[in-house]
Structure 1
Amino acid sequence: MSRLDSMLRRLGAQRDGLNWAAAQVEGQPGDALDIGLGNGRTYDHLREVMAGRRVLVIDRVLQCHPSCVPPEGDFLQGEADAVLAGLAGAGIRLAHYDLGFGVEEQDIAEAARMSPLIAAVMAPGGIVVSGQPLVGFTRLAGPEGIPEGRYLFYLVEA
C-alpha cells in the first residue's frame, strides 16, 4: 500500500471514529479535548460534531490553518504533560490523542507515559480516540469498517 493510500485510510478512520465517539457521548455532560492541534483538521471536525460543547486544544505552538484557530481561552499552549496535569479533574467527555514522533517505538512509549495524565482529565464514561495504543483504559471495538489497530477507542471507567 502506498503512503498516500495509507494516509487516506488513516484520515477516513479518524473521521469515522470521531463521528462514532461523538454519537456515543451525545447527551452526556462534558467538553471535548484535542491533544495535538497540528494543522487543525481534527479540531475543526470536533467543533462540528460536538457542536454546543467547548473543544479545548493542547499544542506546543499555534500553527494551524487560519480557519481552525480556536478561541483564545480554548487553546492551551505548552507541553502536553504539563497542560494535562493542570487540567486534572476537568471532566472531559471525549478526547482525541494525536501526538507522535513518527517512530513507532517512541510513539508507543509516549502514549503509555501520557495515558495516566489523559485519564485524570476524563469524565467517567468518557471516550478517548487515539492513533496510538493507550494503557489503563477499557478498549472498545469502535465503529465497523475501521481496520483493526488503525484507530483505537477507549472507555474511561468510573
Structure 2
Amino acid sequence: MSRLDSMLRRLTAQRDGLNWAAEQVADLAGDVLDMGLGNGRTYDHLREILPDRRIRVMDRVLQCHPSCIPPEQDFLMGEAEPMLARLAGESARFALAHYDFGSGIKADDVAEAARLSPAIAKVMAPGGLIVSGQPLIGFEQITGPDSIAPDRYLFYRA
C-alpha cells in the first residue's frame, strides 16, 4: 500500500471513528479532549460534530491553521503529563477523548501512549470513550465501527 493510500485510510478511519464515538456518548455528561492539536483538522471536525460540548485541546506548541485555533482557555500548551495533571486537578471529566500524539516512530509512540494511559484515565468520565491511533493500557478495548479495519484505529471505554 502506498503511503498516500495509507494516509487516506488512516484519515477516513479517524473521521469514521470520531463520528461513531460522538454518537455513542451523546447521553454521557462531560467535555471532549483532543490530545495532539497538530494542524487542527481533528479539532475542527470535533467542533462540527459536537457543537454543544466544550473541547479542550493540548499540544506542545500551537501551530495549527489559523481557523482552527482553540479559545485560549481551552488550549493547554506543553508536555502531556503536566497538562493531564492540571486537568485532573481541575476535576475535569471527559466523555470523549481523542489520542493523537506521536512522532511517527512506532516503538516510541507506543511507549508514550502506555506511559500516559494512567494520567488519561484520571480525567475520563466513567463510561467515556477514547479514540486512539496508539494502543493504550488500563482501559477496556471495544469494537468501533465496522468500516474501520482492526488495529487501524483503537477504541476504549473508561
Equivalence for 1:125:
127
2:102 corresponds to: 100
> How many residue pairs are counted as aligned between the two chains?
156
Residue of structure 1 aligned with 2:141, choices 139, 142, 147: 139
| Residue number among 131, 151, 156 corresponding to 1:154 in the alignment | 156
Map of 2:16 onto structure 1 = 16
The Cα shift of 1:27 comes to 2.2
Query: Could you report, residue by residue, the CA deviation over 1:78-129 in whole angstroms, capped at 9, with x for unpaired residues?
Result: 1111100111131111000000111111111000001001000100010000
Query: Counterpart of 2:84?
Result: 84
Displaced runs of 4 or more, over 3 A: none
1:56 is matched by which residue type in structure 2? Answer: R
Inter-partner Cα distance in structure 2 for 1:55 and 1:92: 9
Instruction: Report deviation, 1:150.
Output: 0.1
SS of 1:70's equivalent?
Answer: coil
List runs of 5+ in structure 1 lacking aligned partners: none
- Provide the rounded CA distance (Å) in 2 between the counterparts of 1:145 and 1:38: 25
Structure 1 residues 94-103 or 8-17, which shifts more? Answer: 94-103
1:50-65 residue pairs with structure 2 within 5 A? 50-65=50-65
Q: Percent identity?
A: 68
| TM-score calculated relative to the size of structure 2 | 0.97
- Where does structure 2 lack aligned partners over 5 or more consecutive residues? none
Give the structure-1-normalised TM-score: 0.97
